[in-house]
Amino acid sequence: MRGEIVTIGNELICGLVTDTNSPYIAERLMSLGVEPLFITSVGDDEWAIEDALLRAIGRAEIVIVTGGLGPTPDDITSRAAAKSMGKRLMLSPEALEHIKKRYKRRGINPDSHAERQALIPQGARIIINPVGTAPGFYMSHKGKHLFFIPGVPKEMKVIMDQGVLPIIADEIPQDVFSARKVLKIFGLSESQVYEKVKDVRYDTERVKLGFLPVFPENHLSITVRTNSSVADAQKILDNVEESMRDALGDAVFGEDEDTLEKVVARLLKSKEKTIAVAESLTGGLLAERLTNIPGSSNYFERGIVTYSDESKVSLLGVDKKLISDFGAVSAEVAEAMAIGIKRISGTDIGVSTTGIAGPGGGSDKKPVGTVFIALAYDDGGKVSVKSHRYGFFGDRDRIRQISSEMGLEWIRRYFIDEGEKENVN
């Protein structure tokens, strides 16, 4: 079954906005075995929308269209859809009632603009929008299935999951079954990943691998398609996944929806360890990533962004002499920061970052991208600390990004090392 995605909005084609709806929709379609062929973005232009819709119907069985369903005059998707399929626009009483209810709840009287959103092509079926005003609609035309949903990402996601996918699953017969997994890797380059997995044997007819650098990580996707059953697809996937994991070892930190911070959060929670961080060049990014997870107050005690030398001394107890002798960007200061933050917060683990994010501040001995990470931890009654010097490349954003990733990776590595110690004992 082939799918197409059409996203509508001037903001998309003139570069104001990145189309994040399409990847979401594509992924959801793939989960039902529908293979997206084309993604097309067009402006709020009736001719262009009609052209895009007609081409999509010509090539695919399932077409998902987002955007242009709002109340303003540039929202013309319904009209263009009706025209391109030779239908009239009709007022949907069901949609109108929903719109009125939404407006009422917000204490606003629906005006004629609002009511325009209740106009849908004749024969279309309303898909209620539980989180917004503009409803979506579904129509079938010459054996093809078209779904129109609002372009606001939050609304799009809910309608896609609750409204569109059930219709596709129920009404449309499936002939291909698929399963997919993405393995997430940090610390290996794309070519290192390729080298490690290149001798793994698998059924190349039914299994496709995808190598994807997602800075600072590398992702390896495994997609299985078979015409027998979902269970078969899953079984093949499980086997290939096992082989890939064997080949890649613990460079694989997670899969699918995992992020490195989610993985680290799970480790901290399950091992009942608490953490505090002291950051310099990452400027709060490490704390932000550790706390963007629900329940993070269970393990995250505090974070300190010590940008100035003075704050490193007064807040973390870093010896002034270390800073003057070795510089704020040094293994000595990184280690003192990690020990300091662990001590003052009373946590099991303390992590620190210090470095030069650029563009200024670099020198011959410590160029932009020089970064020290340190981790302090309880080690049989005493506190031990480790640190390492990295030379990262890229602009300020990338250096901060990879440094925060490395800070998280150090926490993950800490648990791997602890696990190995336990196994030995």
- Binders of a second copy among residues 192 to 211 (CB under 8 A) are 194, 208, 210-211
Note whether 72 binds a second copy by CB under 8 A: yes
Strands ordered across the beta sheet of 207-214? 207-214, 217-226, 177-185, 252-255
The minimum distance between CB 379 and a second copy, in angstroms, equals 24
> Considering only residues 289-318, where is the footprint of a second copy by CB under 8 A?
290-292, 294-297, 300-308, 310-311, 314-315
Of the candidate residues 65, 76, 159, 182, the single one contacting a second copy (CB under 8 A): 182
> Considering only residues 146-175, where is the footprint of a second copy by CB under 8 A?
152, 154
Cα dihedral: 406, 412, 416, 422 (round 10)? 130
Instruction: Classify each residue of 42-55 as buried b or exposed e, where b means 16 or more C-beta atoms within 10 Å of its C-beta.
Output: bebbeebbbebbee
The site that binds a second copy (CB under 8 A) totals a number of residues, namely 88
Distance from C-alpha of 87 to C-alpha of 80, rounded to nearest angstrom: 10
Closest by Cα among 182, 184, 186 to 402: 186
Q: What angle (nearest 5°) sits at the alpha carbon of residue 169, between those of residues 166 and 170?
A: 85
> Considering only residues 89-148, where is the footprint of a second copy by CB under 8 A?
none
Other C-beta atoms lying within 10 Å of the C-beta of residue 164? 24
Q: Quick check: 347 and 272 in contact, CB under 8 A?
A: no
Other C-beta atoms lying within 10 Å of the C-beta of residue 416? 12
Note whether 62 binds a second copy by CB under 8 A: no
Q: Which is nearer to a second copy, 68 or 126 (CB)?
A: 68
Q: Which is nearer to a second copy, 308 or 384 (CB)?
A: 308
> Considering only residues 325-364, where is the footprint of a second copy by CB under 8 A?
344-345, 358-360
> Considering only residues 380-409, where is the footprint of a second copy by CB under 8 A?
394, 396-397, 400
> Considering only residues 10-29, where is the footprint of a second copy by CB under 8 A?
10-20, 22-29
Q: Quick check: 236 and 230 in contact, CB under 8 A?
A: no
> Considering only residues 251-270, where is the footprint of a second copy by CB under 8 A?
none
Name the one range near a second copy by CB under 8 A: 262-270, 285-293, 319-327, 414-422: 285-293
Q: Which is nearer to a second copy, 257 or 422 (CB)?
A: 257
Q: Which is nearer to a second copy, 158 or 167 (CB)?
A: 158
Q: Scan for tokens 């995808």, then name that residue.
A: 210
How many residues belong to the chain?
Answer: 425
Three-state SS at 222: strand
Half-sphere exposure of 33 (CA within 13 A, CB side): 18
The minimum distance between CB 336 and a second copy, in angstroms, equals 16
Q: Which is nearer to a second copy, 77 or 124 (CB)?
A: 77
Distance from C-alpha of 379 to C-alpha of 366, rounded to nearest angstrom: 31
The minimum distance between CB 68 and a second copy, in angstroms, equals 13
Of the candidate residues 32, 52, 146, 337, the single one contacting a second copy (CB under 8 A): 52
Distance from C-alpha of 277 to C-alpha of 155, rounded to nearest angstrom: 36
The minimum distance between CB 415 and a second copy, in angstroms, equals 21
Of the candidate residues 162, 174, 192, 221, the single one contacting a second copy (CB under 8 A): 221
Q: Which is nearer to a second copy, 123 or 283 (CB)?
A: 283
